Amino acid sequence: MEIKYSLAADKLTFYLCGELDEHYARGVKDYMEAVLTKNAKVRKVVFNMSALSFMDSTGIGMLLGRYKRLKKQGADCFIEDPSVSVGKVLELSGIYEVMPKI
């Protein structure tokens, strides 16, 4: 699992690559929390999943945790370009109802 981010004005984009499962979710969460704390004024957070090949319920839970945190600080969250397999998991989970796909 690899994660990077980019910042442009008030938009923060996380780029997820590999597999987001129970083995990696804690490390991804900790990384995202550190980046979000450092950039607390962002108003739009995008999770780019074009290079994410797998996600299980642990990954979905981690994303929902970031969504709740960001909503409290007034930021909007979006999912960008999920792979076909990850997109199916996200659709079945209903996550697009709170984090729209862009």
**Domain extents in the chain:** 2-97
Contact predicate 9/27, CB 8 Å: no
pLDDT tens profile 13-28: 999 999 999 999 999 9
Cβ-defined contacts of 95-101 (< 8 Å, 24+) = 95/60, 95/63, 95/64, 98/64, 98/67, 99/47, 99/63, 99/67
What is the widest separation between alpha-carbon atoms in the chain? 33
Q: How many C-beta neighbours within 10 Å does residue 84 have?
A: 6
Mean pLDDT of 40-50: 96
Percent of the chain with pLDDT over 70: 100
pTM of this prediction exceeds 0.75: yes
DSSP state, residue 102: -
Instruction: Say whether 64 sits in a helix, a strand or coil.
Output: helix
pLDDT band at 30 (very low <50, low <70, confident <90, very high): very high
Which superfamily is assigned to 2-97 in CATH? Answer: STAS domain (3.30.750.24)
